[in-house]
Amino acid sequence: MFWPTSILVLLHLTRGNSPCFGRSLGISPSRTQFFKRESLTLCCGADERIMTNSKSACSQKIHECNIKLAGVHHSGSYWCDSNSGERGEAVNITVTEGSVILESPVHPVPEGTSVTLRCKSSNQSVVTPINQSYTFSRDGRLIGVGLTGEMSFAAVNRSHEGLYTCTFSGVESPGSWLAVRGELCLVSTW
């Protein structure tokens, strides 16, 4: 006797541990904001090339680009182009000289999934003072205050979509757009 098996199918699939697949730009570490002088790697599928509107030397690289010391000039939109001219969804990367960034998902997230935003200071060795807290805002409105530097949503929906920032020690991060797409699909197989 066969029993139906339920499988969650996500809108974005990955192959193993590699962030490079399809026409989705992979970024390692997986975030869109970086401090000046950080290192990051961008990649596309094997038959694609990286494109950008920034002054980065990554433009039109075969399929992978390593940035050893990020600078403000690396800020901009990046996407994957196939050899046949198909363009993937653009990802906006921000490199800041500031001391606070917001870590958020690189790509749109499906409705119903959990999402955690993290506020990060460039000086991680600093212990948070007792009277100091992190604040999170969406579209310019305060939505949360806490001591951990994290804000989590158990199940995002379209109302969570927007431009997020965080503030620590009076310094605000650049804005990061959280995009929410269609629901998780539940597929039955026999």
CATH number at residue 177: 2.60.40.10
Q: Residue 116 and residue 176: Cα distance in Å, rounded?
A: 13
Q: For residues 71 and 122, state if they share a domain.
A: no
Range 77-85 average pLDDT: 88
pLDDT band with cut points at 50, 70 and 90 for residue 59? confident
Cβ-based neighbours of 170, under 8 Å, separated by 6 or more: none
Q: Residue 76 and residue 56: Cα distance in Å, rounded?
A: 9
Tally the domains of the chain: 2
User: Which of 29-38, 100-109, 127-136, 140-149 is the least confident region?
Assistant: 127-136
pLDDT value, residue 131: 62
pTM score, two decimals?
0.79
48 and 110 in contact (C-beta within 8 Å)?
A: no
Q: Is residue 38 part of a domain?
A: yes
- Residue that terminates a domain, selected from 62, 97, 132: 97
User: Which of 3-12, 56-65, 101-110, 175-184 is the least confident region?
Assistant: 3-12
User: Which of 11-20, 35-44, 131-140 is the least confident region?
Assistant: 11-20
For residue 64, the enclosing domain spans: 18-97
End-to-end CA distance of the chain: 10
Q: For residues 184 and 132, state if they share a domain.
A: yes
Q: Whats the size of the chain, residue-wise? A: 190
